[in-house]
Structure 1
């Protein structure tokens, strides 16, 4: 189970790096290459969305079927273990949501860049006429 969360954390880190690369100012030729490469990789990387959704469902199911430790019968160790599991679940929810949100941001940034390029080409074509 830890391997899944490690993979998701690596994907989130990679998505964050790509988002930073797309938003940093760069010359047009470099930006065009970065956007083109990222656009080609968006479709295969869309597999992270169902993966993150499945992980969210898994967290929800575990939350609903978790043994509660709220009474005075629980020992200190049981209470600490219960709180640790809650914190891990919250961290994992943040990972899943950030993976989906970063993917969407990268998709929109690429789309905006393509729209700007199309508008510039239309403007150039109209000026030539």
Structure 2
């Protein structure tokens, strides 16, 4: 299962880097190529959404089937520590899922806005040249 979380982490990192590069001022010559690359990667990155839902169901299943320590005497300290570590990992993984989904949504929105701004700028230039 660790490989799935590594893949999701790398995908979220790639989304964050692309989002950062799209929103940085002063890199207008690179922006046109970056927009093309980002628009081509949005469809493959869409697979993150069902992947995140699958991993979220995995977290829920592990939460529902975990052993419980109902009384202080029923669990050893090592079992209690293992239980606490499992909860921390689940919370970390849920945060990774949320960040991957938010970065995808932001990347999609920012890419759409940048493309729309470029279209409007081109239309404005045509109107100026025509007059």
Matched residues in 2 for 1:117 and 1:80: separation?
A: 55
1:30-75 per-residue CA deviation (whole Å, 9 max, x = no partner) reads: 1111111111111112111111111011111211222222421211
- Give the RMSD, CA atoms, in angstroms: 1.3
Structure 1 residue 26 displacement after superposition: 3.0
Q: For 1:61-102, what per-residue CA distance to the aligned partner results, in whole angstroms no more than 9, with x for missing partners? A: 211222222421211111100000000000000111111110
> TM-score, structure 2 length as denominator?
0.91
82-91 vs 15-24, greater mean Cα deviation: 15-24
2:38 counterpart of 1:38: yes
Equivalent residue, structure 2, for 1:49: 49
Cα distance in 2 for partners of 1:17, 1:27 equals: 14
Alignment gaps of 5+ in structure 1: none
Task: Specify the alignment match of 2:123 in structure 1.
Answer: 122
User: 1:29 is matched with which residue?
Assistant: 29
C-alpha separation between the residues in 1 aligned to 2:115 and 2:44?
19
- TM-score, structure 1 as length reference: 0.92
Partner of 1:79: 80
Distance 1:29 1:82, change over 3 A: same
Q: Which residue is 1:12 aligned to?
A: 12
Deviation at 1:126, TM superposition (A): 2.4
Separation in 1, partners of 2:48, 2:112? 19
Greater mean deviation of Cα atoms: 41-50 or 67-76: 67-76
Distance between the aligned counterparts of 2:14 and 2:28, measured in 1?
23
SS of equivalent to 1:68: coil
